[in-house]
Amino acid sequence: MNMDPESRLRRAFEAAMKQVGGDDAIGMDPAVRPAGKPEFGDFQCNGALGLAKRLSRPPREVAQALIDAVDLTDLCEPPDIAGPGFINLRLSPQALAGAIEAMDTPDLGVTPDDDPGVVVIDLCGVNVAKQMHVGHLRSTIIGDALARILERIGHDVHRENHLGDWGLPIAMVLHQLRSDGVDLNALDLPTLDEAYRSAQAIARPDHAGLDAARARHSGPHRIAELEAQNEGAMAARGAAAETLVNLQAGDESLRADWQKLIDVTMDAVQDASDRLGVTLGPEHNCGESTYRTELQGVIDHLQACSMAREDQGALVVDFPDRERPLLVRKSDGGFLYATTDLAAIRRRTQVTDAIECIYVVDARQKDHFRDVFDAADQAGWCTNAGGHTVQLRHAAFGSVLGPDKRPLKTRAGTNATLASLLDEAIDRGTTEVRRRSESEASPTHGLSDEALNQIGRAVGIGAVKYADLSGDAVKDYVFDMDRMVAFEGDTGPYLQYAHARMCSILRRAEDDGCGADLRLDEPQERQLALGLLKWDATVHAAAGNLQPHRIAGYLREIAEAFSAFYQACPVMQAGSDDRKRSRLRLCDLTRRVLADGLNLLGVEAPERM
């Protein structure tokens, strides 16, 4: 039978509503939902109320007519009517066991998407010469989770780290380092980051300050100081612009030094990715520099389509529903982020043949992506090379906040780096694991330092990732390490511990119940089984809505359902071997689903904790 009883019930009642209501039932939702109170049944059909209104008949009468018409053979016990016309439904033990039997396969009942294809996910998005900060944490782990979820239902996912590795900012820092005589072969990221900020400061003029000083008749010393600052800034920008021209022209020495800046940055990115357990390597890097030869082609296409117009020497694209245009070429002929993003869309849809492009980027970029997506649509790039319509989607995320509800900073008041955050997470996770291992009753008691460190790392990193992924991504959240590493509550360690406890049960039993007949007689067994059957729908909902927090919420519910089952239904002392093996099989299936879900979030599932 179909492993999803809810879908089967919905189809059965759709047919019954057509039979009872005829044309009046067309397009009506049978409103089959999980029951709010298990004592009344497993599911409830509320469609009789809406149909009764269309038919001008009493709801309970229509509910009875639906019961008489519906085919629930081998699926439900006799239904009953409650209240004004709610139909309570309880699966037969055989139907419930059969659904779980069908789910108990290597794929855990997760079905492939109806039309899987290539999906490009734009994630991480670091700028060369700058340290990764907590915003990169969100882009990286949300993007990786979405990639894992989409891969789980059959899509060919291309992760792309859209590096900021081209343009004037990089030329500024390159010029600064070479002017200062820095040994680029011994460069590290903190030094590079400092050089980036220094170059930005040197090249930043203060025209407004000079105008104000003159208007207020400030002293000649102050005016001279501001004039010198502005002259120095313009000279620095001019030198950087010359460096950029030479770089773009292929100067071998400059290109070699430029590559050194990229290598230093990417070494740090790779280290962070490895520590986070994120699938992101050098093969996923796709810098702005890779599009440099395609930008003029984008402009030519926009002009050929009569989309772009000149505005004071610049080139812009207009939209009928908003006043702001999209600037695609500056008056000096320079290109912008929007130009590169359009080139990326064109390549991803026309060359990579993607059916969907997902941008995991800060919510503050909402308007930018709306404009870029609409421009790409006007340009014809929302139909891929194979003729399929392409979805362009911005998976926006909010900010990581400190206890003061402001962007997270260190105690020294500087922006928190991703490396320092991960250091703290691993240290805190390891400390907690070691503390617990001191108890002789702990499953980790007596493990080697290496094993404890490995578990501690999994707990610390898992805590940070789950805290981020368990909430609606578009919302800001407060970073609270104390809460994150707790083994109780809605935390990653709680789920990891639940998985480890299931492993412990199966290890002690030396049996996973494989092949045992399932007996789901107790209410807690039924509730756990019904929860497990939601796994396929949960994965597809998370994929379709780009919402990893649906996976996290489901895992929390399953862990709680298992806890209730374990407390009410003894496994090792089940009373009979058949019942014991049935419960062991349910334990093993729950463990596998929990491990599968944690993996989709990129969280490790230790076997001992």
Residue 231 falls inside a structural domain: yes
Long-range pairs of 289-294 with CB within 8 A, sequence gap ≥ 24: 289/163, 289/165, 289/166, 291/340, 291/343, 291/344, 291/347, 292/166, 292/248, 294/343, 294/346, 294/347
Location of structure tokens 């189809």: 11
Same domain, 457 and 498: yes
Q: What total of structural domains would you count in the chain?
A: 4
Burial of 118 (0-12, 13-18, 19+ CB in 10 A): buried
Say what the pLDDT of residue 204 is: 78
Say what the pLDDT of residue 216 is: 79
Same domain, 567 and 438: yes
**Which residues neighbour 468 within 8 Å (Cβ) at sequence distance 6 or greater?**
137, 138, 141, 142, 400, 477
Say what the pLDDT of residue 411 is: 52
Say what the pLDDT of residue 602 is: 98
Spatial distance between the Cα atoms of 101 and 497, rounded to a whole number of angstroms: 26
Residue 448 sits in a domain of what CATH number? 1.10.730.10
Say what the pLDDT of residue 26 is: 93
Map 50-93 to HEC letters. HHHHHHCCCHHHHHHHHHHHCCCCCCECCCEEECCCEEEECECH
Asked whether 29 and 86 are in contact (CB, 8 A), the reply is no
Same domain, 596 and 476: yes
Q: What residue ranges of the chain have pLDDT lower than 50?
A: 1-2, 412
Residue 373 falls inside a structural domain: yes
Same domain, 529 and 544: yes
Say what the pLDDT of residue 414 is: 59
> Phi, psi at residue 514, to the nearest 5°?
-55, 125
Residue 410 falls inside a structural domain: no
Same domain, 304 and 237: no
Question: Which of these three, 249, 265, 297, is where a domain ends?
Answer: 249
Residue 66 sits in a domain of what CATH number? 3.30.1360.70
Residue 577 falls inside a structural domain: yes
CA atoms within 13 A on the CB side of 95: 18
Residue 453 falls inside a structural domain: yes
If you count DSSP H runs as helices and E runs as strands, how many of each does the chain have, helices first?
A: 21, 13
Same domain, 434 and 360: no
Maximal CA-CA distance, the chain = 97
Say what the pLDDT of residue 241 is: 85
Say what the pLDDT of residue 415 is: 67
Q: Cα-atom radius of gyration of the chain, to the nearest Å?
A: 30
Say what the pLDDT of residue 403 is: 83
Residue 172 falls inside a structural domain: yes
Where in the sequence is the domain holding 533, given as residue range(s)? 418-600
The amino acid occupying position 474 is V
Residue 380 sits in a domain of what CATH number? 3.40.50.620
DSSP 3-state of 94: helix
Same domain, 460 and 574: yes
Residue 261 falls inside a structural domain: no
Same domain, 370 and 426: no
Same domain, 585 and 496: yes
Question: Which of these three, 203, 230, 249, is where a domain ends?
Answer: 249
Same domain, 433 and 303: no
Predicted confidence (pLDDT) per residue in 125-179, tens digit:
998 988 888 878 999 999 999 999 999 999 999 999 999 998 888 898 999 899 8
Say what the pLDDT of residue 1 is: 38
Predicted confidence (pLDDT) per residue in 455-469, tens digit:
999 999 999 999 999
What the block records as the tokens of 486 is 């707790």
Burial of 577 (0-12, 13-18, 19+ CB in 10 A): exposed
Question: Which of these three, 249, 266, 298, is where a domain ends?
Answer: 249
Question: What DSSP element (H or E) covers 157?
Answer: strand 156-161
Spatial distance between the Cα atoms of 13 and 79, rounded to a whole number of angstroms: 12
Closest by CA position to 326, among listed 291, 358, 373: 373
Same domain, 484 and 589: yes
Same domain, 426 and 390: no
Residue 280 falls inside a structural domain: no
